[in-house]
């Protein structure tokens, strides 16, 4: 690290607002990571799903498929017989004790059937795969991955730290002096690009780590060693065949690496934009448009 880079890094790290921005960003990241954003279907019950997943835990098999189909058919038959049983009770063909037992079974069937239907759909999906999938409680890990999108929080933190590296020259009145030296400009640009790259990498990695740890502590992420094909997200995310062979934890790391590359590119663009801007407002306005555009493109892919 040359003297210019050391001096520029010192200028960045000596600002109290850098640490305030960093801490506030981490707090927001932790709060957002603690939220479950997927809304499950009407009639879903976590306890029912957990019980069946514990019972069926492990690799898909024909026996498990037949079992869950029989459970669904049983509950559907109980619900279909509701009116018939009510008529039989009113006609005195079923006594009060038996009818009370039937009503309890109907309530259990109504409570479970939507969740069991979802497991049947999952089983049919597993049956269509040309590789082995595993049953386990996967709702919260699926929520994590499905909502693991381009994260603007670390990007905002990075830009709030990186952009002033050039715009501060305008407010300090040193811009004219920097422009007067061609070699000095190039050395300064290289130094600031290196610092921008370093800051981007550190912040993105740390924020990703905080997000994962928060999720891991608060939620049940299930079997991270299972193949990503075990999650029904593959139906909506249309994963390439090679990626679908990864384990869940490998897929999460791959996603983070992809967004890390995007974030670093945006931070470098932010530094270059600040270099040609006439102040913070102009630089942040341009970068806001770029961030919105990138977010939109990534979210529709």
According to the model, what pLDDT value does residue 50 have?
94
**Alpha carbon 191 to chain centroid distance?**
34
The DSSP code for 40 is P
What is the rounded CA–CA span in Å between residue 208 and residue 196?
18
Tens-place pLDDT, residues 15-63: 899 999 999 999 999 999 988 777 688 889 999 999 999 999 999 999 9
Give the per-residue pLDDT at 186. Answer: 78
Q: Name which of 58, 69, 44, 233 is nearest 143 in CA terms.
A: 233
pLDDT (0 to 100) of residue 150: 78
75, 113 Cβ separation under 8 angstroms: yes
What's the pLDDT at 70? 96
Q: pLDDT tens-digit profile of 186-227?
A: 787 888 888 999 999 999 999 999 999 999 999 988 889 988
Say what the pLDDT of residue 59 is.
92
Segment 154-169, tens digit of pLDDT: 999 999 998 888 777 6
- What pTM was estimated for this model as a whole? 0.81
Q: Which spans in 58-151 are helix H?
A: 62-80, 82-90, 96-128, 139-146
Those residues with Cβ within 8 angstroms of residue 215's Cβ, 6 or more apart along the chain or in another chain: 33, 34, 140, 144, 221
pLDDT digits (tens, 9 = 90+) for 82-95: 888 888 877 877 88
Residue 296: pLDDT band by 50, 70, 90 thresholds? confident
């Amino acid at each position: 690290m040359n003297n210019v880079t050391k001096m520029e890094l010192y200028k960045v790290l000596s600002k109290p607002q850098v640490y305030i921005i960093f801490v506030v960003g981490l707090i927001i990241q932790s709060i957002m990571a603690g939220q479950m954003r997927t809304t499950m279907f009407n009639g879903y019950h976590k306890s029912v799903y957990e019980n069946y997943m514990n019972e069926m835990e492990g690799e898909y098999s024909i026996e498990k498929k037949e079992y869950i189909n029989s459970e669904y058919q049983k509950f559907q038959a109980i619900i279909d017989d509701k009116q018939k049983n009510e008529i039989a009770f009113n006609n005195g063909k079923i006594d009060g004790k038996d009818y009370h037992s039937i009503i309890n079974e109907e309530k259990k069937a109504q409570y479970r059937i939507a969740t069991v239907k979802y497991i049947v759909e999952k089983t049919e999906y597993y049956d269509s795969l040309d590789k082995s999938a595993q049953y386990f409680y996967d709702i919260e890990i699926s929520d994590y991955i499905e909502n693991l999108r381009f994260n603007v929080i670390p990007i905002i933190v990075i830009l709030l730290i990186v952009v002033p590296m050039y715009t501060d020259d305008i407010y300090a009145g040193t811009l004219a002096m920097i422009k007067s030296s061609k070699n000095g400009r190039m050395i300064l640009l290289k130094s600031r690009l290196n610092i921008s790259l370093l800051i981007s990498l550190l912040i993105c990695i740390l924020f990703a780590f905080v997000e994962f740890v928060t999720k891991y502590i608060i939620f049940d992420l299930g079997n991270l060693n299972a193949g990503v094909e075990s999650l029904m997200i593959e139906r909506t995310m249309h994963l390439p065949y090679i990626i679908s062979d990864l384990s869940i934890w490998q897929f999460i790391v791959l996603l983070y690496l992809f967004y890390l590359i995007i974030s670093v590119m945006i931070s470098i663009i932010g530094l270059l934009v600040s270099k040609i801007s006439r102040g913070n407002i102009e630089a942040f306005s341009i970068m806001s448009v770029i961030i919105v555009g990138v977010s939109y493109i990534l979210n529709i892919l």
